Amino acid sequence: MSDDFTFGAPEPHGPLRTFHPRRATLGPARREALERLWPTLGFSVHGTGDGPLDRRALFGRDAPLVLEIGSGMGEAVAAMAAADPGRDYLAVEAHLPGIANLLLLVEAAGLTNVRVAHGDALELLRHRVPEGSLDAIHVFFPDPWPKKRHHKRRIVQPDHVALMRSRLAVGGVLHVATDWAPYAEVVLEVLAADPGLENPHGGPAPRPAHRPVTSFERRGLDLGHEITDVVVRRVA
């Protein structure tokens, strides 16, 4: 397996990406993890012909499902899944080193309630996740795309939020965390504007104890960044 190994490619003229594709560099351990663990723990979201996700085939049961969009190196989703064995966790990530690292974390912890998808989470939501089927969606530290000309690439914008909300069950939770203060303001405004979502806190939420502090978050804190959690619930 080469360092630029890919599992598939999105359509050449597909929707605007909310992430920046970059060449993946894989060390021997991560390359070996992909080769060994991917066939049983992962799948590609690229393409639209596979139909709705078969959760029983993926996890071997029909438990409440949490979707994590942009799982990074996998620290948060692995820790949360380990502490929450009654729910299943599907992590979606575009970059191979993070996928490989998560696979290693899952194996080391002996987790059976985590699966990994490679590709664009919005495409997965559009084509393979049925409406009203998710217990929660986590979007932790998405790219804030700080330059104004790139704001259209942000994942938290009205049409994307409407899509996410439609895939949540009524009562399901959308949890966004960011360390970019201007983006936090936008997140609060966009989520407040969706008529099907309710913010029980009326603003930023107290930091949930169940969301672990990752190495990425620690770097932000060391730089003096303020962490904002926004937690809303689907009501309609």
pLDDT digit string (tens) for 206-218? 999 999 998 889 9
Q: Is the pLDDT of residue 163 over 50?
A: yes
Tens digits of per-residue pLDDT, 186-203?
999 999 999 999 999 999
Which of 143, 159, 179, 194 is catalytic? The answer is: 143
Average predicted confidence (pLDDT) for the chain: 89
Annotated active-site residue 143? The verdict is: yes
> Helices 96-109 and 28-41, interaxial angle, to 10°?
70
Helix/strand/coil percent split, the chain, to 5: 35, 20, 45
Q: What is the CATH T-level fold of the domain 29-37+56-234, as seen in this structure? A: Rossmann fold (3.40.50)
Tens digits of per-residue pLDDT, 143-152?
998 898 979 9
pLDDT of residue 13: 35
Beta strands 65-69; 88-93: pairing state? parallel
Instruction: Indicate the domain borders of the chain.
Output: 29-37+56-234
**Choice between 20 and 175, residue whose per-residue pLDDT is larger:** 175
pLDDT of residue 4: 42
Amino acid at 39: P
Tens digits of per-residue pLDDT, 50-108?
789 999 999 999 999 999 999 999 999 999 999 999 999 999 999 999 999 999 999 99
**Cα angle 108-110-115, degrees, rounded to a multiple of 5:** 95
pTM strictly above 0.85: yes
